[in-house]
Amino acid sequence: MKPAALVIALLLLVAVPFWVGNSFYVNIAAQILIYAVLALGLNVLVGYAGLVTLGHAALFGVAAYAGATLINAGHGPVVVAIGALGATLIATAIFAVLALRGTGLGFVMITVALGQIAWGIAYRWISLTNGDNGISINTRPAPFGLSLASANAFYWATLVVFLITVGAMAIFVASPFGAALCGMRDQPRRMTALGYNVWLTRFLAFLFSGFWSGVAGLLYLYYNQFISPQTVALSASAEALLMVIAGGTATLLGPIVGAGLVIIMKDVASAYIERWNFVLGAIFVLIVVFMPEGLVPGVARVWRRRR
Amino acid sequence: MNLWLILAVNSVTLGGLLFLLSAGFSLIFGLMRIPNLTHGSMFMLGAYLGVTCIALGLGFWTSALLAGLGVALFGAVIERFVLRRLVGAELAQVLVTLGLSFMVADVCLMQWGGDPIAVDTPPLLRGAAKIFGLAFPMYRLGIIVIACVIAIALWLLLERTRLGAMIRAAVDDPQMARVVGIRVSHLFTIVFALGAGLAGFAGVIGGPILSVYPGLDQDMLPLALVVVILGGTGRLLGSLVGSFVVGFLYNFGQAMFPELAYVVLFLPMLIVLVVRPQGLFGRVPL
């Protein structure tokens, strides 16, 4: 049953450009995959480590800004990827060292402050980030000579990265490291007593999470070919968190479903009303008050009960 | 020389405003253990309400008080009807305050439009005062006086009244406070409303200096966060010192390194977090 479902899901995903047709929708599908990578990365912290962060858009943004700067300096895609992800890892390490000084809500508060500082740098440090005007790039990479200029080609490239991410997450969840992280979420003192280094494990989880956020940031840069401070604003972090929470934390499928839900709603909502931020806030409040466990676990529970 | 002095006065003024904003934030954090992410929105909502009151022909100070009361009422409603439903789930409470802050920001944008609104300085405090042959803007001195008066009033409230004693007891040990018969959940509503009202009031009296614009909430919230991380939570003295430190860093940072103002603001926070995670005056680490 399960492998068959996986194969069908995979075929459906690969065939998206054929059954949705219009390149507008293919682009939305690519966006969903990009944000799903971000949400999966964020889920490592929020779901498995139990560390809720509201500064993740900053890490996404560091990769995108570093990538854009390197591209405009004339570097090739390999240098860009290494540079952008390296910069993200450094930023993540700084975030982690500072944020892990706090626990629980102190952690949340520090990540909000750090995220806002990243936003301030993107907005004010004009010689580095070009301020409010943002940075444009005019190329997409062409791995193995395949052009990614068209919507379909870019979608498939994104799909490959997305599948690698899902694979990495599946391995991570099943690994002893993932199990230790979950143990520290539930019983940090017992894990310390058992001889685990709680701080180091959380630090590594933060780096792992930041790495995938950086991957998503780089994809976003190539997709959008433009980056501005809006991308690192608090509302962007909140959107990413909403994806994870709405879909269901500490599940593999949850963040993916959440990313799809938020992106589709955002596009639908912005087609009909200008008030996306209001809708975002309202969904946030409703989900937290009425469905705190998220959609995927909620639906799974209802499903089990009916059978 | 004169420039530095003016910068110093501006810093103290901003510090005073930040104290009004962060005293409530710090008390709410100390008592309810949640960073209230609507706090910047309360500041902005107060400022907009004040603008409307002034446009209706009410005086500046009346408007400021009315806006403060209005925002306090709004805060009480949020605490009583939304946060109360989520008691014990602090993370959910934080996320709800975040969602509400987006809703408030968007409603303000809808109601008052996207253009910055300038607020006139109240007539009584226009012009400059000459002190030691140097001219200081009266209004900024006025803000410093107001901040001092409110700081003393808050201190008296917390240290010299029965209500203050109950709040301090609940900050230190909520369970024991409940055991000895203090209705801690009532205190939650009172403190949340008080904090919101102070932020709203600060929004109006900050109006002539900062003006009122969409995004004001997002500008003020990180400042309040930095103040509280620097000063420590649940202590008035921490907010006071933190506010003035941030006021100075922000103004001097902007004057000397305009592009890096945020980094200048952030460095001391970084050092405090690494060296003393409970903040300069806090007792409990974050």
**Per-residue pLDDT tens over the stretch A94-128:** 999 888 887 777 788 788 888 888 888 888 787 77
% residues pLDDT > 90 (chain B): 20
Q: Is the pLDDT of residue B110 over 90?
A: no
What does the pLDDT read at residue A186? 86
Q: Does B118 touch chain A (CB under 8 A)?
A: no
pLDDT digits (tens, 9 = 90+) for A15-69: 777 777 788 888 888 889 999 999 999 999 988 888 888 889 999 999 999 998 8
Q: For testing the chain B interface, which of A128, A232, A284 should be mutated: the one with the most B CBs within 10 Å? A: A284
Contact B230, B277 (CB under 8 A): no
Q: Within 10 Å of residue B159's Cβ, how many Cβ atoms?
A: 11
**Which of chain A's residues have a Cβ under 8 Å away from the Cβ of B222?**
112-113, 116-117, 120
% residues pLDDT > 90 (chain A): 22
Q: Would you call B286 and A101 a contact, using CB atoms and an 8 Å cutoff?
A: yes
What does the pLDDT read at residue A145? 66
Q: Would you call B260 and A124 a contact, using CB atoms and an 8 Å cutoff?
A: yes
Q: Would you call A292 and B89 a contact, using CB atoms and an 8 Å cutoff?
A: yes
pLDDT digits (tens, 9 = 90+) for B116-134: 888 888 877 777 777 766 6
Q: Is the pLDDT of residue B37 over 90?
A: no
**Which of chain B's residues have a Cβ under 8 Å away from the Cβ of A52?**
91, 94
- Could you tell me the CA-to-CA distances from A272 to A54, A243, A262, B47 in Å, in that order? 28, 21, 15, 30
Q: Does A282 touch chain B (CB under 8 A)?
A: yes
Closest of A5, A225, A205 to residue A99, by C-alpha: A205
Q: Does B285 touch chain A (CB under 8 A)?
A: yes
Domain parsing of chain A, residue ranges: 22-233
pLDDT, averaged across chain B: 85
What does the pLDDT read at residue B120? 83
Q: Is the pLDDT of residue A1 over 70?
A: no
| Helices A198-224 and A176-186: angle between axes, nearest 10 degrees | 110
Q: Does B113 touch chain A (CB under 8 A)?
A: no
- Residue B286's pLDDT band, with cuts at 50, 70 and 90, is low
What does the pLDDT read at residue B48? 94
Q: For testing the chain B interface, which of A278, A279, A286, A290 should be mutated: the one with the most B CBs within 10 Å? A: A278
A74: left (phi over 0), alpha (psi -120 to 50) or beta: left
Q: How far apart are CA B60 and CA B57, in angstroms?
A: 9
For chains A and B, count residue pairs whose Cβ atoms are closer than 8 Å: 135
Q: Is the pLDDT of residue B280 over 90?
A: no
What does the pLDDT read at residue A87? 92
Q: How far apart are CA B71 and CA B44, in angstroms?
A: 10
Q: Does A289 touch chain B (CB under 8 A)?
A: yes
